Amino acid sequence: LEWRMCKYAKEKGVKIFINPDAHSLKNLDDYKFGVNIARKGWLEKEDVLNTLSAKKIEIYLKNKKNKKTK
């Protein structure tokens, strides 16, 4: 994700997942690049879904589903 899009996503209420896109164990540490991009794009903890507890993610997804069915 390009860092400028982080701010746009936040303004639109879009939540982000950060992952390393690792294809081997040695690349698992690459999540740091995503964290740095999120910070540069002014994202906060509540903007990144995989910083939330499983329960909060479940609530978020249920709320999104309920909004779509209305």
CB 16 within 8 A of CB 50: no
pTM of the model: 0.74
How high is the pLDDT of residue 58? 92
Run means of pLDDT, 10 residues per run, the chain, 70 residues: 91 91 90 94 94 92 80
For residue 16, give every residue at least 6 positions away whose Cβ sits within 8 Å of its Cβ, in sequence order, or none. 1, 6, 9, 38, 43, 47, 48, 49
Report which residue type is found at 36: N
CA distance 25 to 5: 28
Confidence (pLDDT) at 70: 64
Determine the pLDDT at residue 1. Answer: 77
The CA angle 2-6-33, to the nearest 5 degrees, is 55
